[in-house]
Amino acid sequence: MSNQDPLVVFTPSGKRGRFPVGTPVLTAARQLGVDLDSVCGGRGICSKCQITPGYGEFSKHGVTARDGALSDWNALEARYDEKRGLKQGRRLGCQAKVQGDIVIDVPPESQVHRQVVRKAASARVIEMDPATRLYYIVVDEPDMHTPTGDLERVARALKDQWEIDKITCEFPVLTQLQTTLRKGKWAITVALHKTSATATPSIIAAWPGLHEKGLYGLAIDLGSTTVAAHLTNLDTGEVVASSGIMNPQIRFGEDLMSRVSYAMMNPGGDHEMTRAVRDAINTLAEEIAKEAGIETNLILETVFVCNPVMHHLLLGIDPVELGQAPFALATSDHLNLTARDLDLTTLPASAQIYLLPCIAGHVGADAAAVALSEQPGKSDDLVLIVDVGTNAEILLGNTSRVLACSSPTGPAFEGAQISSGQRAAPGAIEAIRIDPVTREPRFRVIGCDKWSDEDGFWDETAASGITGICGSGIIEAVAELRIAGLLDPSGLIGSAAQTGTDRCFAEGRTNAYLIHDATAEGGPRITVTQGDIRAIQLAKSALYAGARLLMDEMGVDVVDRVVLAGAFGAHISAKHAMVLGMIPDVPLDKVSSAGNAAGTGARIALCNLAARAEIERTVRQITKVETAIEPRFQEHFVAANAIPHATDPFPELGKVVTLPVVGFNTQGDGSDGGRVRRRKRG
């Protein structure tokens, strides 16, 4: 290129260079390293390389682009426009040739590495850098005089047409390659997968001609209770369908340890659980593809995040070692497998599976995914990230250091083992307020935006009824009982006499609080029992003790901010969580929700190969703290039993909520309880 050659400036990258007249825009972009997509390799058929030329004077770039700075619209562009429609002002980068100085804008959808904005609350974007990409190639026909195999000629085409030096081919694809080549009349599209930026790419799928149906991936958050999947277009990053099902392993045990016990007590029990979860994933994949209207054979990648027990059971590894100290994982590294390895028969046999690394025997790939999504190691302030589920994963860190642990909260936070508990579904109470004066409750149920004391609530909920309390509802209920003075710091519900309301009623030797009696409508009596309070206390104590243990290890008494992760975290009210003493005291506006951060981490790993390398590196730098063997955990646990806490001050909470000082213990001190006085805590 000489100084007389036309100047081409690409936006938004700003990359620029001079190219001889007649150079296709795609060629210029490639030479400059501009991120301009192409599947067909410049043959004018895939339309991935669309660009928008800019004409006129661009003083910012020092360029004046005149009419005729690009070659005229050609036959291929006309044909594409006729068949599919080309947006106004767009050209095909491989057909439009440079004739004079020009500014070329690469729209986001023509960039391979475009950014995808997450729908979730947090503003983090996912940059597309997929492990699997499509390449259209024209393959030499076989020739008896130079008798190479079809695969070897495919490899040569990739080298000649895409400068891809060396490839391998998944065996199931190889067995069908000849048919595909002949169907495509020697033009095919191959999907090349790389397990890392430097790995040899492998052909994991091939289609006759130009493949235009897209490529998809599943990001699966394999939880003890639910299996959630996001079907993602690997080209655009768009989530085209989301679906969740119950983990069928529940029939073998509600929580992780009961499943490990099942495997220990029943020979072959681990295999049963493995089969159950794989069957479920097969079903889930089929359903989600159907929902999105795609064929399952387009799902070429799946990323799993899960806790260590789910991880081992998915892989077909007996989880027995995870049930006892020292909680040894079979492997802690990330894994690259195929659908065939895991009997995921709904997916193509050569579909690629990626499992994020585990952090430790109790801190799994789900915690790694949270770390990938929330990046505590890149936070300037000290952030505590809590992923609330049947087990809580807790991360604490900043740019200097990241710590992690897992804490056995049990399923109470998910509404399980709660007398009126139920899953989050229409009819479930998800929010509740108790008037501190009248001690009367008002509430909101899933499926209706109104509060129960608003006009129209009862009409709108007539269909679903009021059926129970979900996880966020029970947390609010316990916290509101405490705020209203119906529950003392030790977790005792007062009697009707002690509290002055009939909503508190005796149930055996303890008291309960009636939220709503739906028996007239054929529904249940929805109450909060003393047993429910105990279950929540155990769960929140475990969570808080885990967080405290990490804070001890870090040598701090306060954290700067708290991130609540987990599908459930999205629905927890920060104030109520803190009244309960689930999380350490921070200003309320420093508590945020990250939504399903583990699921987001899975999506990031699905869409971005570099992110996989990053988390593989990061987990090695995370310090693991083992709650099960740490004596201080027990101390923290006991101290955290009180609501909000026996000893830790909650000064920030005290600024917004005044908790009544009450005590309903009639055994020890003979106090008859009742509200004594309100005071600011801290």
| Structure tokens given for 229 | 């999947």
For residue 614, count CB atoms less than 10 angstroms from its CB and return exposed for 0-12, middle for 13-18, buried for 19 or more. middle
393 binds a copy of itself (CB under 8 A): no
What is Dmax (Cα atoms) for the chain?
Answer: 103
| Structure tokens given for 72 | 């005229």
Q: Looking at beta carbons only, is 334 or 503 nearer to a copy of itself? A: 334
150 binds a copy of itself (CB under 8 A): yes
Residue 451 main-chain phi, psi, to 5 deg = -80, 160
Q: Taking CB under 8 A as the criterion, which residues in 257-316 touch a copy of itself?
A: 315-316
Query: How far apart are CB 235 and a copy of itself at their closest, in Å?
Result: 29
Q: Looking at beta carbons only, is 38 or 180 nearer to a copy of itself? A: 180
Q: Helix (H, G, I), strand (E, B), or coil: what is residue 379? A: coil
Q: Looking at beta carbons only, is 332 or 498 nearer to a copy of itself? A: 332
| Closest-CA residue to 254 (of 220, 225, 213, 218) | 225
152 binds a copy of itself (CB under 8 A): yes
171 binds a copy of itself (CB under 8 A): yes
| Closest-CA residue to 338 (of 244, 246, 202) | 202
Q: Looking at beta carbons only, is 92 or 550 nearer to a copy of itself? A: 550
149 binds a copy of itself (CB under 8 A): yes
Q: Looking at beta carbons only, is 333 or 557 nearer to a copy of itself? A: 333
Q: Taking CB under 8 A as the criterion, which residues in 623-662 touch a copy of itself?
A: 624, 626, 628-629
Q: Mask: binding to a copy of itself, 336-375, rule CB under 8 A, as x and -?
A: -x---x----------------xxxx--------------
140 binds a copy of itself (CB under 8 A): no
| Closest-CA residue to 287 (of 374, 218, 225) | 218
Query: How far apart are CB 300 and a copy of itself at their closest, in Å?
Result: 19
Q: Looking at beta carbons only, is 192 or 329 nearer to a copy of itself? A: 329
Distance of alpha carbon 529 from alpha carbon 160, whole angstroms: 73
Residue in the structure block whose two tokens are 């039993």 = 641
590 binds a copy of itself (CB under 8 A): no
| Closest-CA residue to 169 (of 154, 181, 182, 156) | 154
Of 54, 100, 142, 208, the one binding a copy of itself (CB under 8 A) is 142
Could you count the other beta carbons within 10 Å of the beta carbon of residue 480? 26
Q: Mask: binding to a copy of itself, 173-192, rule CB under 8 A, as x and -?
A: -xx-xxx-------------
Residues that bind a copy of itself (rule: CB under 8 A) add up to a total of 42
DSSP result, 469-495: E-HHHHHHHHHHHHHTTSB-TTSPBPP
Spell out the residues 6+ positions from residue 670 whose beta carbon is closer than 8 angstroms to its own.
none
| Closest-CA residue to 365 (of 318, 304, 423, 421) | 304
Q: Where are the beta strands (DSSP E) in 198-319?
A: 202-208, 216-222, 226-233, 239-246, 299-306
Q: Taking CB under 8 A as the criterion, which residues in 314-343 touch a copy of itself?
A: 315-318, 321, 325-333, 337, 341
Candidates 81-89, 139-147, 512-520, 582-590: pick the segment binding a copy of itself (CB under 8 A): 139-147
Query: How far apart are CB 327 and a copy of itself at their closest, in Å?
Result: 6
Of 67, 82, 143, 455, the one binding a copy of itself (CB under 8 A) is 143
Amino acid letter, 581: G
Query: How far apart are CB 122 and a copy of itself at their closest, in Å?
Result: 29
How long, in residues, is the chain?
A: 682
Of 9, 45, 98, 151, the one binding a copy of itself (CB under 8 A) is 151
| Structure tokens given for 106 | 């690469």
Query: How far apart are CB 267 and a copy of itself at their closest, in Å?
Result: 13
Query: How far apart are CB 55 and a copy of itself at their closest, in Å?
Result: 50
Distance of alpha carbon 664 from alpha carbon 646, whole angstroms: 16
Amino acid letter, 570: A
199 binds a copy of itself (CB under 8 A): no
Query: How far apart are CB 556 and a copy of itself at their closest, in Å?
Result: 21
| Closest-CA residue to 168 (of 148, 150, 132, 193) | 193
Q: Which residues bind a copy of itself (CB under 8 A)?
A: 141-145, 147-152, 169, 171, 174-175, 177-179, 315-318, 321, 325-333, 337, 341, 358-361, 624, 626, 628-629
